[in-house]
A = this chain, B = another copy of it.
Amino acid sequence: MRDFSADHRWLSLNTATVRKQGDLVAIIEGCGRHDIRAIDPWRDQVAAVGLDRAVRAVRDAGLELSGYCRGGMFTSDAARRTEVRDDNRRCVDEAKALGASCIVLVAGGLPQYSRPGSAVSKDIVAARAQVDDALAEMLDYARQAKLPLAIEPLHPAYAADRACVNTTKQALDICDRLDPERTGALGVALDVYHIWWDPDLAGQIARAGRDRLLAFHVCDWLVPTRDILNDRGMMGDGVIDIRAVRGAVEAQGYAGYSEIEIFSDDWWEKPMDDVLRTCIERHRTVV
């Protein structure tokens, strides 16, 4: 297991962590001030400054992209299938322009939440089948662009409105169905927030192996969690044994970034430099 205590060489910043404090260009400048070498930007943040400007800012700063957030939202009613396909193709094009190492995929929950306006459904089994189909289509496109796709299983608390892929096993089952040869085109993005509770976690991380482990995200689970979306904790402030999970991932050969992604009304209120300093300190002490 790598020693993170001496520096933050392997810290990547998911730019949602400071999304309220500045636009993508301001966040990239912040990374420069704190010697952060990698980011994972969100599509809306890229769109807000313009793709060309984002590409230049990333390149000028010499940043790597540990991922691009996010593709997916595969579930919809029939009328919106083309929208889903085209949206995800644009995502691949953007990720390619930005030089991202992978696209993080959030599957989508029930269609009415994933693609608003879709007919209301309570059929999560059907939603899951749809994810397979739409992801297969995106995978064809992403393979041509040589852009790996990383399925992020989301905590079961998001099953209805964000992602019906809720366990690492489920994500890996999809990988095995769509990429049985383990070509590297499809894998998982594991975020400790979403997976820490899973009784099957150790076994599934071992099953994933280095081929399938495309991204690793950290934050913490607070008790109590006051808001299921925007009350994630800074690493060390919650109950997750982050180092144990990182150890399991690295035991499989994962050697990439440890990406910090914190959705938090509390942290969004603090100055960007304070947040980044704290991220670095916690990366060195508890991640």
Contact = CB atoms under 8 A, between A and B. Distances in A.
Interface of A: 110, 113, 122-124, 128, 155-157, 159-161, 164, 166-167, 169-170, 196-199, 221, 223-225, 228-229, 238-241
Contacts of A110: 239
A199 B155 contact: no
Contact of A170 (B124, B160, B199): B199
Most B CB atoms within 10 A — which of A128, A169, A223, A241?
A: A223
B221 A160 contact: yes
Given A122-B241, A123-B241, A113 B223 contact: yes
Contacts of A164: 197
Nearest to A123: B241
Given A122-B240, A122-B241, A123-B241, A161 B223 contact: yes
23 contacts: A110-B239, A122-B239, A122-B241, A123-B241, A124-B196, A128-B199, A155-B156, A156-B156, A156-B157, A156-B197, A156-B198, A157-B157, A157-B225, A157-B228, A159-B197, A160-B223, A160-B239, A161-B223, A161-B224, A166-B199, A167-B199, A224-B229, A225-B228
How often does this chain occur in the complex, in copies?
2
Per DSSP, chain A at the interface is loop
A129 to B, nearest CB: 11
Contacts of A128: 199
A213 to B, nearest CB: 21
Nearest to A173: B199
A281 to B, nearest CB: 19
Most B CB atoms within 10 A — which of A164, A196, A199, A224?
A: A199
Nearest to A197: B159
Most B CB atoms within 10 A — which of A169, A170, A239?
A: A239
A221 B238 CA distance: 25
A224 B196 CA distance: 23
A161 B226 CA distance: 13
A240 to B, nearest CB: 7
Contacts of A159: 196-197
B166 A197 contact: yes
Contacts of A198: 156, 166
Nearest to A165: B199
A185 to B, nearest CB: 23
A232 to B, nearest CB: 13
